[in-house]
Structure 1
Amino acid sequence: AIGFFWAILWILIYVDSPDNHTYISIIEKKIILENTQQSSNNNDRFHTPWRAILTSSVCWALFIMHTCSNWGTYTFLTSIPKYMDEALGFDIKSARSFLPAIFVLGLAFMTCQHKYTAVILLTIGVGLTGCCFGGGFALVPNDIAPAYAGIIFGISNTFATIPGIISPYVVGALTEKDPNNWSIIFFLCTIIYIIGLIIFLLFGSSELQPWAIKQIENNVLYDDLLSKQNNETTEKILNLEN
């Protein structure tokens, strides 16, 4: 139901270009168009500053943070049913960032005598992990390099898929012989979360990077936008007078 409601909102609000958006000002349109690939009428002239991206400490802070965060996410996604069965004694058939780290750390001390508390901590931890994506580092590429946001996030997401491959093997190796080793798994998740947090706080940024600034070679697009806004304003005035 939530997905359907979101789809309706998306259809009503989404537009293909800032130029066609009715709810943002001409100045905001100009800023967006100047700092994205849409500012160029010739896509063949768009060049990616690969060296600047791959040598940027800000970008690498993002890559590391994304990867560390995904370690916890993939651990939750792939191993929680196993944890609830082996450590908490739940019947599976009936039945992520600093803030996620706090609640994941709490799981390390949970036993089957505290299984409902463990479920609450797990739910909060997963929920806060989602907040990291919705309003955290996932938005950084748009801030530091709007014109290359897709490329930067693509690189970041490539690194961040590695935990999805490694994490299940680590969980399996640690719990195969001793289910009590789940505490080690959650301690490991907490440490990885905090490492990502510290690196991002030290080297990360949300400021527009100098190498990401694109210059518009002509003002034709801006003039078109200004003319369009003036026409819309004139139409509104005429409608009010009538």
Structure 2
Amino acid sequence: MGVSRPEEDPHISTEERSFIVRNRTVDPDTHRRQSSRAELDTHAMNWRVLLTSRPAWAIYVAHMCYNYSWYILLGWIPQYFNQVLNLDLAKKGGFAAALPYMCGYTGTLLFGRLGDLLVTRGYRELHVRQAMNAFSFLCCAFFLFSLRLAKTAPMAVALLCLTLFTSRAAMAGYWVNMIDVAPNHAAHVMGVSNTFGTIPGIIGNVVTGAILQATGSWDLVFAIAALVLVFGAAFFHCYSSDKSIYSRSSSNGEGYSSGSTASSSFLGSPNYSLSLSSSIPELRDEEEGLLENPM
């Protein structure tokens, strides 16, 4: 079922085996670190860069917006079916409850393959990440907002299936972008992103409960979730990158330091500083070479 080295694996292609061997940073025999490509960030972990770089915050914000709607679906859809559609999932709707998640699993496999296919055909990774992420978030927003029009259980289940299916395109969007911006520290990016992503998940459930208690309006619940997704899609599209935040930090000698003044507007030139709020560090990006090698 498994082997210790890619050279011994009979199931992978020659191209994949060569790619792994060429780019690995640890010798499988000695378990010692090898020199890696100049593109990879082999420097010691720099938390300041991780917490202040614009491309990293593009991932964090996208993750937070995604989780807002995801946690609402996990926590409140059973009640929605029960109250609005008079369908008790615990008694007679087991398959209806499972079907959307089966569609989500299928979407993960399909959109992952599609993202890889686009990259192998010569499209720039950044453009693929942005396109897949925008498709995911905007389609989810549309189908969630359309739930307000569902009058029958089958129609609502169909919309939820489409929501979960298209949502998984984000796996080829902001999720895999973590590896792009920090090849050797993707686990750290994921840890920070997952931590931030839990916050709106908690807030979303509290807000949803308050809305339903005050107004009883599911339309408002889904509308807010849709708007959050649209914001996440726009933010990621504007501020994401496919360049290593650590290699750029070391190359310009500054990294993503805070305390500098803005040189352009928030939506203007790439050379700017960004302050999301008093509680979020100022973000700065020199964006060297970002517009090179267009799709």
Q: Same fold (TM over 0.5)?
A: yes
Conserved 8 A contact 1:101-1:194? yes
Aligned residue pairs: how many? 193
In 2 relative to 1, CA 55–105 (structure 1 residues): closer, same or farther, beyond 3 Å? Answer: same
TM-score, length basis structure 2: 0.58
Conserved 8 A contact 2:49-2:246? no
Q: Does 2:64 align with 1:67?
A: yes
Question: By percentage of residues, which structure has more helix?
Answer: 1
Structure 1 segments unaligned to the other structure (5+ residues)? 1-10, 215-242
Q: Does 2:69 align with 1:31?
A: no
Counterpart Cα distance in 1 of 2:169 and 2:202: 23
Could you report, residue by residue, the CA deviation over 1:21-47 in whole angstroms, capped at 9, with x for unpaired residues?
A: 66434454222428xxx8726xxx962
Q: How does 1:32-111 map to 2 (within 5 A)?
A: 32-33=24-25, 40=33, 47-92=44-89, 93-95=91-93, 97-110=137-150
Q: How does 1:216-227 map to 2 (within 5 A)?
A: none
Conserved 8 A contact 1:171-1:185? yes
Counterpart Cα distance in 1 of 2:170 and 2:22: 29
TM-score, length basis structure 1: 0.70
SS state at 1:108 partner: helix
2:247 alignment counterpart: 211
User: How far does residue 139 in structure 1 lie from its aligned partner after superposition?
Assistant: 0.8
Conserved 8 A contact 2:143-2:163? yes
Identity of aligned residues (%): 27
Q: Larger RCO: Structure 1 or Structure 2 (Cα < 8 Å, ≥ 6 residues apart)?
A: 1
1:138 alignment counterpart: 175
SS state at 1:206 partner: coil
In 2 relative to 1, CA 199–20 (structure 1 residues): closer, same or farther, beyond 3 Å? Answer: farther
In 2 relative to 1, CA 177–54 (structure 1 residues): closer, same or farther, beyond 3 Å? Answer: closer
2:224 alignment counterpart: 188
User: How far does residue 65 in structure 1 lie from its aligned partner after superposition?
Assistant: 0.1
User: How far does residue 148 in structure 1 lie from its aligned partner after superposition?
Assistant: 0.4
2:130 alignment counterpart: none
In 2 relative to 1, CA 27–76 (structure 1 residues): closer, same or farther, beyond 3 Å? Answer: closer
In 2 relative to 1, CA 86–178 (structure 1 residues): closer, same or farther, beyond 3 Å? Answer: farther
User: How far does residue 141 in structure 1 lie from its aligned partner after superposition?
Assistant: 1.1
User: How far does residue 106 in structure 1 lie from its aligned partner after superposition?
Assistant: 0.6
* Letter in structure 2 aligned against 1:100: C
In 2 relative to 1, CA 204–190 (structure 1 residues): closer, same or farther, beyond 3 Å? Answer: same
What is the RMSD of the two structures over their aligned residues, measured on CA atoms?
2.9
